[in-house]
Structure 1
Amino acid sequence: MLTLYDHAAVALYFAFMVLIGFGFRSFVKSVSDYFRGGGRMFWWMTGSSAFMTTFSAWTFTGAASSAYENGPLVLVIFLGNVLGYLANYWWFAARFRQLRIITPIEAMRDRFGPVSEQFFTWAYVPTNVMQGGIWLAGLSIFCSAVFGISLELTILFTGGVVLLISLLGGTWAVVASDFMQVLVLLPISIVLAAFALVEIGGPSALMAQFPADSLLGNDIHYSTIVAFWICAVLVQKLLTTNNLIDSYRYLTARDTANARKGALLAAMLFLVGPIIWFIPPMVAAVRHPDLAAEFPQLGNRTSEAAYVVMGMDLLPVGMVGVLVAAIFAATMSSMDSGLNRNAGILIRNFYQPLIRKNAGDTELLIAGKIVTVFLGVFIMLAALWQVKFKTMGLFDVLLQFVALIGIPLNVPMFWGAVVKRTPDWSGWSTVVVGFCLSLLIKLRFDADWLNVVLDLDPPLSVRESNDYLFIVAVFINTLIPSLWFLGTRFFYREPPAERRAAVERMFRNMRTPVVADEAEVRETDVNQSRLLGKFSLAYGLFLSAFALIPNNVAGRLAFLFCGGVLVVIGVALRMAARRTLRRQRQASPPEA
């Protein structure tokens, strides 16, 4: 059970996140500041935010359950993220920053026209709300296992805190909290992975004792399914990290160079993070083979508590609370960025162009905060619905959601950034084709159909059936809509002059590097480093103080390690702020 120290760690973490929101309120002076940080953030903020917004507590519940049941195969999903962000670094990150827009749907308007702007607004925002609900549901399952409180209460409380952070400081608060959450998440993950390996006797002992039928995991009759699943995951990740809607990750960067560095940082973090994340649930498969007996309240989702079980087993007094805070961080970063992004889309791409064309910044900021509240409520309702959906684990729910809903939206957003000469209707019509295919796949070409057609004996297992649906959805929804989009080139006709100018301007911008105006970003450069340095130092000292709790030597050292990481980075940021200020003073001309 959690101790008073653990509860204190969680409570202070929430208070700390809210303080970040208050701290960055002064950075918001315009709509651009609120929805994209004014495009003035350093690469380490942009990259950390890109990393944190790509996953959630689902990683430590749904994905951890896959590691618990099937071993290291789940790492393929995160290898796909590495490849996706390397593609960002190589080509897409620079071009996305160079779009010079505030919301990603503005790129869809420039590329496909105002009709497509509305289509993608109302296709993207609701699906993103549903995905946010899945993330929040994953967090609620985790907290139910740790605290023994209801799933519903966790959803409402966490959703409310995230909503408050988003309202206070906009994108500046969101991205700053993402950066801090990386600093909390990675050290505690390293500590738990190290303790788990020591507990079982090292990596070789773990692989020897892991209770799987093969390296492919359990419940596998046909290894070909696994091979196709790996390919499908890599295709899906490359597509979902390299498209116009996901350009939002780099709109905050201060210039082209910082956007590319941010993408590289995200790739490196995804190379390291998953390796340490999935050691504990694999050790749990050896040490806790019957989680159903330990967590009967989770029903058929007991394996989703595998990660926290090892934390409760191995971490010293007080550090389980830090672990809880770290996993809160994973979902909160995804949720608050989603809230801010979706509110920006509805204000900039619906409210302003169709309802209040002449609205000023003050009105748009107020409207943006009102919309943020409504979106936060909708996400909480989606999560409440998800926790009642007991027939499928979160791992398969999220993968199938992305394959059946996400990919049809992403295909035209990928090709639209690469191919210029297609008619305006090519974008929305490609999505319609993809949605129709998804419906057909779900209703007609499911696993039962394949069992009958191929007369499989034995039939596909439950795991293989879910994998099959994901494979078919990814490949069909990538191939056929891509052919449809590219085929519309044969129907291309020169658009009116205004539309032709918009498309030409978009592609010209994508080719033109953004160079920060040092005079404009001078104050922001210093303040973002200085303020985040203060927060890092403060939280690092707080964690280090937990070394005074009565624990063994290893437990005390663990707290000093986690706190020391934040202290060192805090000092480095403060020193960087001083160097920047010194350079600015030296570069300033003397007064007459």
Structure 2
Amino acid sequence: MPAFNHVNSADYALIALYFGIVIFVGWYSSRKNKNTDDYFKGGGKIPWFLAGVSNWVSGFSAFMFVAAAGFTYRYGLGAAVVFTMATWAYLVGAFYFASRWRRARINSPLEFLTRRYSPSTTYFYSVTAIVPQVIGIGQGLYILCIFVATALGFAQGQHVVLGWTFTGLELTMIAVGAVMIIYTVIGGLWAAVLSDAVQGIIILVTSLLILPITFRYLGQGEGIGAGFVRLWNEAPAGYFGLNGPTASVLFLACFAANTMLGYNVAWWQVQRYQSVPDERSARKMALLCAGLSFIGPLLWIVPVMGARVIFPNIGEIWPQFAAPAEASFVSLALLLLPHGLIGFVVAAILSATLGQASDGFNWLAATTTRDIYVPLRKKAGFSAPSETHQMRVAQLTMLVIGVLGIVAALFIARTGGAFDFGLKYYSLTGPGFMMPVLLGMIYRKTPWWSGMASSIAAFVAAFGLMAINAFPDNVYERNIVSAISAATLVFFISAFFYRADDPRSAECQRFDTDLRTPVPIDPNQPEGSLRDFQMLSIVSVLLGAVLIGCVFIPSSPLAPPIINVVAGVILFGIGGLLWRASRSKT
């Protein structure tokens, strides 16, 4: 059994500090929300750099550090092909979708469906998408907390709270979910963006450190280069080529297609493009995300490959995991990082999933408020709600969604099978919701009902094949191929029924004109929001100072406390760059 640095009071203090910072960010962000435009899309004033970092972090979750780490441990360098595919999706976004989403001139993601198709399509999506999204939030929360609770020793034992009996895992989900609800309800999209920036700093520093430390350990005193040589010599055969699922052209094609959808037409992505001031900023944001999506995964994929040599029998270390390989990243952290920085890694895993879930909260609240509540209120004969009224409804919606997400996580925890559940969930629901958006953005001469028909066709195909258990050895590929094919076929068949003189086509024609018309740059657009870099700079310096203070905490010989000083200096450097950026722009 390796000599792990198990979490101690210093690590817990750093985790608590992170949660405190996240809640502070929510409060800080709430001061920016003067109306629902600010609350849902940052008033279109968020700097492209902040929006880009936030967008990139939103693509992370505990899945990347858990399931994806396990995939890398098993299949090696082929994982780099899979987990850097977002790079190519963002490049497509930079040259096509970024400008078009900015030109869409919409205030909430689902407003696209109203303009492109019809109000009926928006209601259809609102009703059918909310439940799967809540389940998705719950599933993400569960994957995060089953890992964190087990790694920190919370998973065992029963706890009685107010007469109710909970496991440590369930209490972890409730606590983490509560923090997620608080800061998102208070701050809206500004909270999500700024907290994502804090999370991006955490992920960057952790990734920069874990790679050289891992290979220094592998080098056994002969240097980092010797560590790479050892990995090359001792890794399993085929570890540096395409093997397992990565050797399947069909799997790679399906994963690429799903990635292209998720990083170009998912609602959280649309919201980010709407949050920046102009088309140029949207393109720059997408290009930044493309670069980060290529470099970032490599920083943690390569160390996890090293874990295959360091922990050749990882199942003996983590017998309580259904898939012990998925503990490979945290095993590296517990072995090679000192106290203080270990808490930093746990905070990184927490922050990544919280950022992703908070985006789901935000667009669901925007949809429920603007696309469901306001129209229904008007139809009922009431006056149009004020901006303040809509913000309160949105906050209440976020609260309800958050509570339901926690309930979903507790339900999944009691039924088990979270990872298999997640695989089926994303491949079954993703294409059905996103294909009509992609197709409707590219081709706009189809009737008002084509979006609903395309979506229904995708779900019928995917769920129908699942019902008869067709192609059981290729479930993921079956779901993706069937849904995309059915949606595309029905969509283009519907084009034969398009009538330009149909009154219901008028809004789509105006929408088509908007997509061909660049959004003018507002010369009076304020850049005051760049001062948020100052807040992030202070947060970076604060975290750096705390880590440097951890140098006095005893640790193991394999994880000398001086590593905390290195991390602190990096954070000071990041803080200085952020402060300089704020001063040069304001």
Distance 1:572 1:112, change over 3 A: same
Letter in 1 for 2:372: F
Distance 1:281 1:569 in 2: 25
Q: Does 1:2 align with 2:27?
A: no
Matched, 1:534 2:534: no
Contact kept in structure 1, 2:121 and 2:449, CA below 8 Å: yes
Q: Is the 8 A contact 2:548 2:564 kept in 1?
A: yes
Output the CA distance in 2 between the equivalents of 1:166 and 1:214. Answer: 42
Whether 2:260 is the aligned partner of 1:242: answer no
Number of the residue aligned with 1:39: 44
Distance 1:174 1:159, change over 3 A: same
Match of 2:29 in 1: 24
CA distance in structure 1 between the partners assigned to 2:100 and 2:548 by the alignment: 42
**Is this contact kept in 2: 1:70–1:212, CA < 8 A?**
no
Q: 1:369 aligns with which of 385, 389, 395?
A: 395
| Contact 1:69–1:212 (CA under 8 A) maintained in structure 2 | no
Partner of 1:116: 121
Q: How does 1:184-199 map to 2 (within 5 A)?
A: 184-199=202-217
2:429 maps to what in 1? 405
CA distance in 2, matches of 1:273, 1:89: 19
CA distance in 2, matches of 1:158, 1:224: 34
Q: Which TM-score applies when normalising by structure 1? A: 0.88
Equivalent residue runs for 1:347-496 within 5 Å: 347-356=369-378, 358-391=384-417, 394=419, 396-448=420-472, 465=473, 468-494=474-500, 496=502
Partner of 2:336: 314
Q: CA RMSD in A?
A: 2.3
Which is further off, 3-12 or 355-364? 355-364
- CA separation in 2, counterparts of 1:517 and 1:561? 43
- Correspondence for 2:231: 206
- Alpha-carbon distance in structure 2 between the residues aligned to 1:5 and 1:576: 32
Q: By how many angstroms is 1:557 displaced? A: 4.7
Inter-CA distance 495–134: structure 2 relative to 1 (3 Å threshold): farther
Partner letter of residue 398 of structure 1? G
> What is the DSSP-based 3-state SS (H/G/I as helix, E as strand, rest coil) of the residue aligned with 1:416?
helix
Task: Report the 3-state secondary structure (helix = DSSP H, G, I; strand = E; otherwise coil) of the residue aligned with 1:65.
Answer: helix
CA shift in 2, pair 1:174/1:204, >3 Å: same
Change (3 A) 1:514 1:180: farther
Q: Which amino acid aligns with 1:492?
A: Y
What displacement does 1:369 show? Answer: 0.6
Pick closer, same or farther for the CA change 1:119–1:216 going to 2, 3 Å. farther
TM-score of the superposed pair, with normalisation by structure 2? 0.89
Distance in 2 (CA, whole Å) between partners of 1:561 and 1:389 is 43
2:189 is the alignment partner of 1:183: no
* Structure 2 unmatched ranges of 5 or more: 1-5, 155-167, 220-226
Contact 2:77/2:239, CA 8 A, preserved across alignment: no
Show the 5 A alignment for 1:63-78.
63-78=68-83
- CA contact under 8 A between 2:186 and 2:395: conserved in structure 1? no
1:268-304 deviations in whole A, cap 9, x for unaligned?
Answer: 1110111121234333333333434333333x23332
CA separation in 2, counterparts of 1:292 and 1:225?
A: 25
Q: Distance in 2 between matches of 1:495 and 1:331?
A: 47
Amino acid at match of 1:416: G
Distance 1:82 1:158 in 2: 30
Which amino acid letter does the alignment assign opposite residue 41 of structure 2?
R
The runs of 5 or more residues in structure 1 that have no matched partner are 449-464, 582-592
More helix by share: 1
Contact 2:471 2:478 in 1 (8 A): no
Contact in 1 for aligned 2:29/2:187 (Cα 8 Å) = yes
1:574 matched to 2:572: no
Change in Cα spacing, 1:531 to 1:144, as seen in structure 2 (3 Å) is closer
When residues 316 and 515 of structure 1 are mapped into structure 2, their CA distance, relative to the original with a 3 A threshold, is farther
The separation in 2 between residues aligned to 1:554 and 1:3, in whole angstroms, is: 14
Q: Which amino acid aligns with 2:499?
A: R
Measured in 2, the distance between the counterparts of 1:530 and 1:98 equals 31
Contact 1:22/1:169 (<8 A) preserved:
yes
Contact 1:45/1:179, CA 8 A, preserved across alignment = yes
1:213 offset after TM fit, Å? 6.4
Matching residue's letter, 2:329: Y
1:590 maps to none
- The aligned residue for residue 261 of structure 1 is 284
CA distance in 1, matches of 2:554, 2:174: 34
Is residue 447–residue 505 contact of structure 2 (8 Å, CA) maintained in 1? no
* Correspondence for 2:293 among 270, 274, 296: 270
Residue aligning to 1:457: none
Which amino acid in structure 1 is aligned with residue 217 of structure 2?
A: E
- Cα deviation 1:459-487 (Å, max 9, x = unaligned): xxxxxx3xx11112222221231121111
Counterpart amino acid of 2:494?
Answer: T
Do the aligned partners of 1:244 and 1:414 also contact (CA within 8 Å) in 2?
no
Letter matched to residue 347 of structure 1: T
Cα-to-partner distance string for 1:339-363 (whole Å, 9 max, x where unaligned): 1111111101100111256011111
Say how many residue pairs are matched: 555
Please report how far the alpha carbon of residue 225 of structure 1 lies from its aligned counterpart in structure 2 after TM superposition.
Answer: 6.7
Partner of 1:55, secondary structure, is coil
* CA displacement 1:350-403 (0-9 Å, x = unmatched): 001112560111110111111001100111122223334444x62x54343222
Q: Report 1:226-241 matches (<5 A).
A: 226-241=248-263
Give the alignment partner of residue 524 of structure 1, picking from 522, 525, 529. Answer: 529
Q: Distance in 2 between matches of 1:252 and 1:224?
A: 36
Taking the aligned partners of 1:383 and 1:203, their CA distance within structure 2 comes to 40
Instruction: Confirm whether residue 325 of structure 1 aligns to residue 351 of structure 2.
Output: no
**Structure 1 residue 437, shift from structure 2 partner:** 0.7
